[in-house]
Amino acid sequence: MTLRKLGVLDEKEIALRVSQLEGYANHLERDVSSYARGRKRFWLQHEWDLKNKNFKPALRAPEIWEFCKQWMPDANLGLAVYGSVGITPHRDDSYADWRAVGINLGEVEGWQYDCQYPELYWTKEQNPSNPRICRVPVGGIFEFNCKNPHAAIGPAEDRWGIFLWKLKREIKKSHKYKEYIRENR
């Protein structure tokens, strides 16, 4: 499966969503991922702590989250990214189920995607590595297998993007996650 286009927002909708994100710019923090050193970001709904492999409460922005849920109704968390620091090829961490959605709200040179898993699930039959550079227009919304290596190349200084994930079933069923949800309602 390559990137699958879900839609393209018009200029008015892009401006609205960028304005909403800019209203939360004071929540931007430097990314801790070694793949995106110096990138600015904030989590939506829940934050996945890469180091400790657990969740922390994150920004609740109803107007942004309602928009996100239009494109991925089963999303549990999201990541808003801002600025000119991209991310090098990586696979998303263990919290994420296979399907992810990207919402591009600014200029980016390209989106590198290496379709090793041909579907939105694990399979023994994998494609050989063959990274490709895809063009994602401003306003472009796409789905992809987040366990395939992917990267954002050359984002503009004022570029916003949002990425959405559904949690893996094993994570949602875990005692640790249930306890976190109980404590953070």
Q: Is residue 121 very low, low, confident or very high in pLDDT (cuts 50, 70, 90)? A: confident
pLDDT tens sequence across 93-104? 889 999 999 999
Instruction: Give, in degrees to the nearest 5, the angle at Cα 89 between 68 and 25.
Output: 40
Give the percent of the chain with pLDDT over 90: 82
pLDDT score recorded for residue 1: 57
Distance (Å, whole) CA 78 – CA 100: 10
pLDDT exceeds 90 at position 18: yes
Q: What is the pTM (predicted TM-score) of this model?
A: 0.95
Provide the token pair at 4: 């699958």
Domain ranges (residues) in the chain = 4-183
pLDDT score recorded for residue 2: 77
Helix (H, G, I), strand (E, B) or coil at 132: strand
pLDDT score recorded for residue 152: 97
Instruction: Give, in degrees to the nearest 5, the angle at Cα 102 between 49 and 71.
Output: 105
Of 112, 102, 161, 163, nearest in space to 135 by CA: 112
pLDDT score recorded for residue 50: 82
pLDDT tens sequence across 20-74? 999 999 999 999 888 999 999 999 999 998 888 889 999 999 999 999 999 999 9
Does CATH place domain 4-183 in 2.60.40.1150?
A: no
Higher-confidence residue: 49 or 122? 49
Of 120, 81, 121, nearest in space to 102 by CA: 81
pLDDT score recorded for residue 57: 96
Residues of 71-104 as b/e, b for ≥16 C-beta within 10 angstroms? bbeebbbbbbbbbbbbbeeebbeebbbbbbbbbb
